[in-house]
Amino acid sequence: MENVAIFDSPGKGRGLKANKEFWAGDVIFAEASLSAVVFDSLAERICHSCFRRQDKLQRCGQCKFAHYCDRTCQRAGWAEHKQECSAIKTFGKAPNENIRLVARILWRLDKEGGVVSDMQLTTLEELEDHICDMQEDEMKEFKVDIHNFLDYWPRNSKQHTIDVISHIFGVINCNGFSVSDQRGLQAVGVGLFLNLCLVNHNCWPNCTVILNHGKIELRALGKIEEGEELTVSYVDYLNLSEERQRHLKTQYFFECTCEHCKNKTKDDLKMAGREKDGVKPTEEQVKEASDYCYQMMDKIEKARLNGDYHEVVKLCRGCIEKAEPVLADTHIYLLRIYSTMSEVQSYLQYFEEAADYARKMVEGYVKLYHPNNAALGMAAMRAGVTHWQAGLIEVGHGMICKAYAILMVTHGPTHPITKDLDAMRVQTEMELRMFKENEYVYHSMREAALKNKPMTMMHEPKSVEEGIKDLFHRRK
């Protein structure tokens, strides 16, 4: 690990700094998890070894809990599952994901000792657990987990003190990393990556983390000087500084004093009124429209969870009609509604309208996010595909190229989603050329292509990106 070094970050405790200069897209380090588990809710739909989503999984004949793509995955996952398998059988059921993760970690450490790789910069023992910072109700749940863990932990496994066990629960509570599926679109499990725990937060960070082929990669978002602290953002930037600070305080137990929080950078844009012909709406008008959107977002979310997509469209449309004349194109509530609207419209195959809202969403994001933010890249990809589906090939190709440029930095060329994007880039480029030569031929070819749905993005609109905006997993 000659790329990074541990140092004392003023006001933050331990942190990591760069030992040399890095450029946008450089992988600073890659790391395998100490251990990872599939979420309880997805235990039958995600492979417990490779974390891929598959339609047909085979379940473990012994515990009937773990599921795998095939024999190869089952064999690959056996070392991690062996003790878990018999513990689940004895216990009578699988305990929750936190308990399963702590148990897997302990079995691994018991077998291999505190240092499992020569790349490892810290031990689990040295990480902070923040148990003394916990709120009362959180503490209650915490104690229930520990109690259940003790019932689950086999008598013939090595016994540990309550302190050791609580410490691990505390560490995964604030540092359990959301593991996403192979395409990076949905959080499907939680894992612990020790070196990553050393990377401190900044709301405007110089690095990003991405899971690629089972390992996380810390990637540089821009030029980083030798000696500079390496940071990632634990929360989505599309919240006001006050909201981010509150979230960081309750979830990660620290006050964010980054430049963007101190100066409330871009907060004004995120809550701005729309200026029209030199006239701005009054403060009350902006507040009224913001409050209205806020209330509606709740209703929209409920309708979406119920799968009532026509209701979602109706609510969004009403909200946009009322708020759009008053709120700026960078207002974060308006942007959230654009995002939902485009996703649902695209699912319902109203591509033109979906494209329109997706473009507005990206235009707002561009003014707010860091130019190499992964969420911006994903939004540009979605907008590009939607425009392509709507037959708006010029804008579509432009958006896909923009998304590709960002994902080359945030995900890198070998990530499955970057490869998908590259294929789309090539196809839309070819189509664009055809479009410019002969519009009629292009349109008839597009009809045929749409029927085959080669670029389908029409999964259930559950705002897949939302689920992965928070860096670390939080128990519900």
Name the residues that contact Zn ion, by CB under 5 A: 47, 49-50, 60, 62-63, 66, 69, 73, 85, 203, 256, 258, 261
Q: How far is the CB of 199 from Zn ion (least distance, A)?
A: 15
Query: What gap in Å lies between CA 413 and CA 463, rounded to an integer?
Result: 25
* Of 241 and 342, CB closest to Zn ion: 241
Please name which of 33, 28, 45, 87 lies closest in space to residue 63, comparing C-alpha atoms: 87
Query: What gap in Å lies between CA 200 and CA 222, rounded to an integer?
Result: 17
Tokens 């024999």 map to which residue?
71
Q: How far is the CB of 46 from Zn ion (least distance, A)?
A: 9
Q: How far is the CB of 355 from Zn ion (least distance, A)?
A: 34
Ordered alpha helix ranges (H), 177-282: 241-252, 259-262, 267-270
Q: How far is the CB of 254 from Zn ion (least distance, A)?
A: 10
Q: How far is the CB of 17 from Zn ion (least distance, A)?
A: 19
* Of 69 and 400, CB closest to Zn ion: 69
Amino acid at residue number 104: R
Query: What gap in Å lies between CA 232 and CA 349, rounded to an integer?
Result: 36
Q: How far is the CB of 215 from Zn ion (least distance, A)?
A: 16
Give yes or no for a contact between 373 and 237, defined as CB atoms under 8 angstroms apart.
yes
Q: How far is the CB of 258 from Zn ion (least distance, A)?
A: 3
Residue 281: strand, helix, or coil: coil
Give yes or no for a contact between 111 and 82, defined as CB atoms under 8 angstroms apart.
no
Phi-psi region of 281 (alpha: psi -120 to 50; beta: other; left: phi over 0): beta
Q: How far is the CB of 389 from Zn ion (least distance, A)?
A: 31
Q: Counting every residue, how long is the chain?
A: 476
Please name which of 87, 59, 64, 63 lies closest in space to residue 74, comparing C-alpha atoms: 59
* Of 49 and 346, CB closest to Zn ion: 49
Query: What gap in Å lies between CA 422 and CA 326, rounded to an integer?
Result: 39
Q: In this structure, what are the phi and psi dihedrals at residue 59, rounded to the nearest 5 degrees? A: -95, 155
Measured over the CA atoms of residue 291, residue 294, residue 300 and residue 302, the dihedral's sign is: negative
* Of 94 and 409, CB closest to Zn ion: 94
Which is it for strands 231-232 and 200-201: parallel, antiparallel or unpaired? parallel
Q: How far is the CB of 44 from Zn ion (least distance, A)?
A: 13
* Of 169 and 237, CB closest to Zn ion: 237
Residue 339: strand, helix, or coil: helix
Please name which of 438, 411, 433 lies closest in space to residue 422, comparing C-alpha atoms: 411
Q: How far is the CB of 50 from Zn ion (least distance, A)?
A: 3
Query: What gap in Å lies between CA 241 and CA 263, rounded to an integer?
Result: 9
**Nearest-10 crossing angle of helices 374-389, 393-410:** 160
Query: What gap in Å lies between CA 17 and CA 214, rounded to an integer?
Result: 24
Q: How far is the CB of 365 from Zn ion (least distance, A)?
A: 19
